[in-house]
Chains A and B, each alone.
Chain A
């Protein structure tokens, strides 16, 4: 009996051993933080502080501007030194609030509150929104929006995503080992909000210790099950995980709620627990710093806004002058031109590769080997779509369902002609939307 999975997918080298056995360490309080107003999908937050303002840890410095938007909080106490465009991990300069710390880390306390169990679903959602929680797996969709499905779309299954299928990254793995109770409590809070009867925790079976631990912790709950999944990229893709966990296929162009599911990352579940039970805003997250280009790989608890350079020096610095710095994992992460970029809510890892390990092979013509077609988890024909984009035949690209691509990068990984397939597809989407 095969383990549960989806059709397609690839098997990149896992490379988890760099940091999987290293417990989470707290990064010392940064001297200054750069907090972008756009750290989530949706409208950016609007700044509510000015240069010179004194701020406390946990204080809102940017407020949510729309329903699909999130507030951002000061992650250290200190003084606002600028509200300016700064380099952002997404590759462009975006508006950010820079705070110079006072080293005190004095918190803005919220009033002590009543019994948490008496909170209504709406109250809990309000706390999640106020805490500024975005999906911490990397997609950074505002969590409160995902927890607000329209009434005609009842949710019967909440899936907690502990798959962590990106090679190298171990932040979710460590969190499951070190904070299982909080993750489970957060999951139950979200299931309550959604009125979902079932919780499935999906974990790839290269994390057997986490699977065993969570199974032990959930033994007495009939409604929570821990699902062991085969190791395959992109097993943690939302639609792929739903398919593996429930057998349901989210219709093309639709959302998980259309098949009665909501998927939330384990880190998000932890943050939800913190927000609802302690009214603690999302001001820190776990970041894996790993790869051949970093001297001592670690899993760190990092304040949002911490410059990546701080993390690098905490982890022993670069191993050489010639490295590639990636925000995220090796499959979907974005390579950076500077280490002054901050850690943001979606930063699951900082991967540093030695320059000599970086693939620089020249692109060759497609030989129609069909490997990308065989492995595409969305069952597209990436070779054809990419060629259509290359020749600017955008309507043909659309006809071949370019918008169904989730940009997981599996096609580029497998291509023996070293074609930048997913790159063409991203370009094609951008060109289509500017037409």
Chain B
């Protein structure tokens, strides 16, 4: 007569997506760029990745044990943090550095705030910012040239990544009176070569941090994530568009509207940042308008740092800065309720 029925609140059907599937999808999307980096910079890349991921996962477990919280490493978020951290350091960094970055990222960037869902900033970027501030030389000197190419993507030049080269050349050209005619002439030749290196930039035959070089492979992964509705178009599109417009208007050496926006979009960590880090769910706005605003803000700060700041690259600091504005943006962009 009476039956032991299962009781639970409605709804009684659920979508089959989960945090775990989301995290592992992002990891999957990042893998092509990682394998390419192994080919590009050598087997050292494997070690850096393993160390970063291992340190992230171990730190997460230890934190959860100490804080007597459920062990949640199977959700994949610590693995993703480690992976992203490894993607954001040069292949030439000493092997202990990714470990330090992951530990700081997970501990200070995530667990002290309460773990997944409660962190205000992207943990991988917190780790990277710590490394950048503590060992700037290791983080900005690129010693391993990509397989079959040069760091800058130009044949004659082996010294620096495209953005480093750009920053250097631009400052020569903007202050031409302080340099010899020869130096200036050489700089403009190099600049035009840099601008002509689109295919290297797009495929990723250039120097840079481990995971950021190949726009092509990163975009393939991003397309997969978009088809799975894990990342939306708003943040990446607004981010890239803002960078495009601002670098076109202000990025040139011959006055306004003389910049080369495509160069800026394809070089450095912009694609990696716009599609994989500025889209981190936890640290970005939830509203439609909020996400538009967030993308624009990221683009703005990236360009400000790249063109006028001390670093050649501004993606990670731009995203961290905007992460901190997320609660405010959400509050200011609350959607208008139905009929309200």
Contacts and interface: CB of A to CB of B under 8 A. Distances in A.
Contacts of B118: 365
Contacts of A330: 10-13
Interface residues of B, number: 45
A331 interface: yes
A420 interface: yes
Interface string A230-260: 0000000001000100000111101000000
Contact of A321 (B4, B11, B18, B335): B4
Interface stretch (A102-110, A114-122, A152-160, A355-363): A355-363
B19 A335 contact: no
Contacts of A415: 14-15
Contact of B75 (A364, A379, A404): A364
B312 to A, nearest CB: 31
Given A252-B339, A368-B286, A370-B281, A413 B117 contact: no
Nearest to A291: B12
Given A367-B116, A368-B117, A324 B5 contact: yes
Nearest to B336: A379
Interface string A373-402: 110011111011000000000000000110
- Where chain A touches its partner, the secondary structure class is loop
Interface in B1-60: 1-15, 17-19, 21-22
Interface stretch (A68-76, A274-282, A336-344): A336-344
Contacts of A309: 1
A285 B214 CA distance: 63
B15 A413 contact: yes
B8 A413 contact: no
Contacts of A331: 10-13
Query: Secondary structure at chain B's binding surface: helix, strand, loop or mixed?
Result: loop
A324 B6 contact: yes
Nearest to A309: B1
A326 B13 CA distance: 12
Interface string B273-291: 0000000011111111001
A323 B13 contact: no
The contact size tier of chain A is: 35 or more
A251 B286 CA distance: 24
A249 B336 CA distance: 12
A353 B12 contact: yes
Interface string B240-284: 000000000000000000000000000000000000000001111
Nearest to B18: A416
A13 interface: yes
B115 interface: yes
A53 interface: no
Nearest to B331: A384
A324 B8 contact: yes
Interface in B83-105: none
B167 interface: no
B12 A381 contact: no
Nearest to B338: A378
Contact of A373 (B19, B75, B286): B286
B156 interface: no
Contacts of B75: 364
A183 to B, nearest CB: 28
24 contacts: A326-B10, A328-B10, A330-B12, A332-B10, A332-B11, A335-B12, A337-B7, A338-B3, A353-B6, A359-B14, A365-B114, A367-B117, A368-B282, A370-B281, A370-B286, A373-B287, A374-B288, A377-B338, A413-B14, A413-B15, A415-B15, A416-B17, A418-B18, A423-B9
Interface of B: 1-15, 17-19, 21-22, 72, 75, 114-118, 229, 281-288, 291, 330, 334-340
Given A239-B339, A365-B116, 11 more contacts: A252-B337, A321-B3, A321-B4, A322-B6, A335-B9, A364-B72, A366-B117, A367-B19, A368-B283, A379-B340, A420-B9
Interface of A: 10, 12-13, 167, 239, 243, 249-252, 254, 309, 318, 321-326, 328, 330-340, 351, 353, 355, 358-361, 364-371, 373-374, 377-381, 383-384, 400-401, 404, 409-410, 412-418, 420, 422-423
